[in-house]
Amino acid sequence: MMKRKFLFVLLLLSAFAQSQILKPVTWTTSTEKVNASEFDLVITAEIDPGWHLYSQNVPDGGPIPTTISFSEPGESYQLIGGPTEGEGHEEFDNVFEMDIKYFENQAVFKQRIRVLTDDKITLNGVVEFMVCDDANCLPPTEIDLAFEVQGKAGQKELVSESELVPEASSVLQSATSTPEVKGQGDQPESEKGPTGMSDKKQKTKSLWTLFILSFLAGFAALLTPCVFPMIPMTVSFFTKQSKNKAVGIRNAILFGISIVVLYVLLGTVVTSVFGADSLNALSTNVWFNLIFFALLVIFAISFLGAFEITLPSSWGTKVDSQADRGGLIGIFFMALALAIVSFSCTGPIVGTALVAAAAQGGIAPVVSMFGFSLAIALPFSLFAAFPGWLNSLPKSGGWLNTVKVFLGFLELALAFKFLSNADLVLQAHLLEREVFVAIWITIFGALALYLFGKIKLPHDSELSHISVGRLSLGLLVAAFTIYLVPGMWGAPLKLISGFPPPMHYSESSYGVGYTKLSDSGNITEAALPEGAHLGPHDIVAFLDYKVGMEYARKVNKPVMLDFTGHACVNCRKMEERVWSDTRILQILKNEVVLISLYVDDKRQLREDEQYTSKIDGKKVTTIGKKWSEFQIEKYEANAQPYYVLLDHEGNNLNPYSAYTPDADEYLSWLKEGIANFE
């Protein structure tokens, strides 16, 4: 008896603790003078022990990143680059299956500005962030920022961030590092990844991976009809026009170096103009993904032979005339002429590589362009040094167009990844997993037929037979296409993990036409109650409180409110590790009505449903904000996961529950609430 009373007291204490409004992050603002007209706006987050704040740079499909925005610069000030941040920590997250960067204890963000007036100005901004600890995640929260600055008016101009804003890792390292002094060879465990690898080593490894992929992309561009025929022509020009073999080799090497310099400059410009992190922030922007989807489709259609994308012919003429000057300048302009002439083939590949690299941030675009250009430049230098090797080069012909068409199909397949990103952000469910997989099956199936000679495109030459290489590549693509087919019926498709939408973002949890025999019988989408969907583990779940409550009254079952989030790590842990317990799963499927309220749902409320918040006075415009407000007003809590068992009048059946990794404890909580309902 005493034990039961003790457990009841513990539950009450737990409920009291869980019903608090958590505010683990305190934000402060300040300014730092750089010179008479330039200032750093400093945004500091003091984070309670045990909590972590996510970086501005979180990959797609991960937690919600920290986002800092400012009021539109006008005649009073100018933003220089984008917000920078400290090093933080980066670890592999098993739930999201990706490396995620976060901050503990303190995070410092800086935005450099130039004032354009002598008067005192007030700048306003907003920071949106998400924080988690080992048991809770809070919904996305917005905090208003305000700064007062007065300096000497500077001149408004376009200035590269690389010239004005030092790297975040050097400027802010002291603000985020731990004060503990360690030996020269020591490193805090929190700064190591899952394999004990430090952040710097992980970043170096990712840059090497990017370099290798960019090198392969450059090699693919080299094998296109715009570039490959230029190798013997250019090498022959250098060897014939030079006084001796040594001079010819030197000129060809300088030509290759000029190619590398041109593309590295392009990568540097992208990094400088857009900033080290700003393009990463665009990765979850709907319009960015839609625009890039359209560009890739245009590039793909061009590669397939519908038309050619070329730069103005006058550019090539002017540059070519400069190449006649001779010397180092002439060689450089020859390299520039090659880049312009071959743009129709290299442009789409360069554009794709740059965006992929820029999303990684930092110097990634420079590394990418170095790897890409090195693959193109090497043959010119090597064949100039050993001209006899030219005889071993395959003859230019129809196979070059085959390479171009092959790249066109790949560009088309990749384009739908960006369309999928936009759809996921909007939660529009227009490009769900089955549709995405079906599109890829169609694209790669058509590519296999093309390689087998069953499809002929405009610029293809007559094909009397299929080479062994083309046949082998066709068989490989056909095998990949067949591999994709089970994905229509729920196969995980681990080879392309990260490209299609996640498993739960689908028409049916187990694929087209699939029906799973569960504890509650065969469940199909058509048989679901109105307003319900199949949630985790095929649990019938409602996404609206009123609709779910009405259904609960109809079937005479208690309600379990599940305050959750799409980007809530601990919510996923509960679903995967606790809800999957057969005893708990049987209850959730058969004995309660589950209502899942997503507090980070970005979909807009209808205008007639929008209202002014009683908490902060701001207008509530999204579904997620509505449910977050509901949780705070009714239960005085703002953390997720958060579970409440209710009767049909909305009364609590027992104390609340939150993150409970012990399945037995969670099962006892469920049984207690159901018993009180009965």
Is residue 382 included in any domain, yes or no? yes
Say yes or no to pLDDT of 427 above 50.
yes
Percent of the chain surpassing pLDDT 90: 21
pLDDT at 545 over 90: yes
* Inside any domain, residue 39: no
Residues 274 and 391 in one domain: yes
Residues 215 and 331 in one domain: yes
- pLDDT of 176 higher than 80: no
DSSP 141-201: EEEEEEEEE-----------HHHHS--HHHHSHHHHS-S----TT---GGGB-TTS-BHHH
pLDDT (0 to 100) of residue 64: 83
- Render the burial of 220-241: b for 16+ CB within 10 Å, e for the rest: bbbbbbbbbbbbbebbebbbee
- pLDDT, residue 62, reads 76
227 and 331 fall within a common domain: yes
Choice among 78-87, 412-421, 517-526, 664-673 with the minimum mean pLDDT: 517-526
Mean pLDDT of the 583-596 span: 94
Same domain, 370 and 463: no
How many distinct structural domains can be found in the chain?
4
Residue 624, SS3 per DSSP: helix
| Cα–Cα distance for residue pair 38/110, rounded to 1 Å | 13
Residue 53's Cα: distance from chain center in Å? 18
pLDDT of residue 482: 96
CATH classification at residue 658: 3.40.30.10
Residues 223, 331, single domain; the answer is yes
Q: Same domain for 303 and 256? A: yes
Local confidence band at 665 (pLDDT 50, 70, 90 cut-offs)? very high
Least confident of 36-45, 97-106, 443-452: 97-106
CB atoms within 10 A of CB 454: 10
pLDDT, position 520: 44
- Residue 485 is predicted with a pLDDT of 94
From 213-227, 367-381, 437-451, the region with the lowest mean pLDDT: 213-227
Of 60 and 359, more confident: 60
Lowest mean pLDDT among 82-91, 104-113, 198-207: 198-207
Domain presence at residue 618: yes
Cβ contact 64:72 at 8 Å: no
Quick one: tokens of 379? 């043959």
Read off the DSSP letter of residue 640. B
Side chain identity at residue 112, one-letter code: R
For residue 164, being part of any structural domain is answered with no
pLDDT tens digits, one per residue of 15-46: 444 456 788 899 999 999 888 888 999 999 99
Please tell me the distance from the alpha carbon of residue 157 to that of residue 141, in angstroms, as a whole number: 34
**328 and 238 in a common domain:** yes
* pLDDT at residue 676 is higher than 60: yes
Look at residues 94, 122, 155 and tell me which one is the last residue of a structural domain. Answer: 155
pLDDT in tens, 160-170: 443 443 333 33
Examine the domain organization and report whether 85 and 233 are in the same domain.
no
Residue 138 scores a pLDDT above 80: yes
295 located within any domain: yes
Q: What confidence tier does 522 reach under pLDDT thresholds 50, 70, 90?
A: very low
Enumerate residues 6+ apart whose C-beta is below 8 A from 482: none
Residue 34 belongs to some domain of the structure: no
| One domain for residues 473 and 604 | no
Residues 502 and 539 in one domain: no
Sign of CA dihedral 406, 407, 409, 413: positive
Can you tell me which residue has the tokens 């992208």? Answer: 270
Q: Which of 128, 155, 182 is where one domain is finished?
A: 155
Say how many C-beta atoms besides its own lie within 10 A of residue 560's C-beta. 26
The model's pLDDT over 283-296, given as tens digits with 9 standing for 90+, comes to 556 787 788 788 88
| 169 in any annotated domain | no
Instruction: Choose the final residue of a domain: 155, 171, 196.
Output: 155
Mean confidence (pLDDT) of the chain:
77
Q: What is the mean pLDDT of residues 635-649?
A: 90
Tokens 């071959």 sit on residue: 342
Tell whether 351 and 223 lie within a shared domain. yes
| Residue 415: pLDDT band with limits 50, 70, 90 | confident
Alpha-carbon 423 to chain mean position: 13
Alpha carbon of 195 to those of 113, 150, 189, 520: distances in Å? 40, 49, 11, 42
545 vs 501, residue with greater confidence = 545
Q: What is the pLDDT of residue 166?
A: 38
Is the pLDDT assigned to residue 280 strictly greater than 90?
A: no
The share of the chain scoring above pLDDT 70, in percent, equals 72
**pLDDT single digits (tens) 180-234:** 333 333 333 333 433 334 444 445 556 777 788 888 888 877 777 667 667 776 6
Residues 564 and 463 in one domain: no
- Within the chain, how many helices (H) and strands (E) appear? 21, 20
Confidence at residue 160, expressed as pLDDT on a 0 to 100 scale: 43
- How far apart (Å, rounded) are the C-alpha atoms in residues 605 and 600? 13
- For β-strands 532-534 and 540-542, DSSP reports them as antiparallel
Long-range contacts of 520-524 (CB under 8 A, 24+ apart): 520/589, 520/590
pLDDT digits (tens, 9 = 90+) for 228-268: 667 776 666 666 665 566 777 777 788 888 888 888 887 77
* Average pLDDT rounded to a whole number, residues 305-325: 59
Of 50-59, 377-386, 588-597, the poorest mean pLDDT is in 377-386
Of the candidate ranges 319-328, 400-409, 426-435, 613-622, the one whose mean pLDDT is the lowest: 319-328
Q: What is the mean pLDDT of residues 397-424?
A: 81
Give residue 389's pLDDT band: very low, low, confident or very high (50, 70, 90).
Answer: low
Q: Does residue 196 belong to any structural domain of this protein?
A: no
Q: Can you give the residue range of the structural domain that contains 129? A: 45-155
